[in-house]
Amino acid sequence: MQREFIVLHEPVGQPRHRVSTINGIARMYLPSRHPVHAFKQALRLAFGQRRPSQLPIGIVVKAWFPRPKAKTWKRRPMPAYRHTSKPDCDNVLKAVLDALNGLAWVDDAQICSALVQKYVCDGESSPRCEIVIREVEQEVNDV
List, in order, residues 6 or more apart from 78 with CB less than 8 Å away: 67, 71, 72, 122, 123
How many domains does the chain fold into?
Answer: 1
Which residues, 6 or more positions from 22, have their beta carbon under 8 angstroms from its beta carbon? none
CATH of the domain at 119: 3.30.1330.70
Number of other CB atoms surrounding residue 46 within 10 Å: 17
Measured between alpha carbons, how far is 127 from 9 in angstroms, rounded to an integer?
6
Q: How many residues belong to the chain?
A: 143
The span from the CA of 7 to the CA of 34, in Å, is: 18
Domain range for 107: 2-135
Task: Give me the pLDDT at residue 34, please.
Answer: 93
Tell me the pLDDT tens digit for each residue of 16-65: 989 999 899 999 999 899 999 999 999 999 999 889 999 999 999 999 99
The Cα 97–Cα 104 span in angstroms is 9
Whole-number percent of the chain with pLDDT over 70: 97
Peptide bond between residue 79 and the one before it cis (omega within 30 degrees of 0)? no
- pTM, 2 dp: 0.88
Q: From CA 41, how far away is CA 32, in angstroms rounded?
A: 13
Q: For residues 132 and 5, what is the distance between their CA atoms, to the nearest angstrom?
A: 7
54-111 confidence digits (pLDDT tens)? 999 999 999 999 998 888 777 788 889 999 999 999 999 999 999 999 999 999 999 9
Q: Which helix (H) or strand (E) holds 26?
A: strand 25-29
pLDDT of residue 28: 93
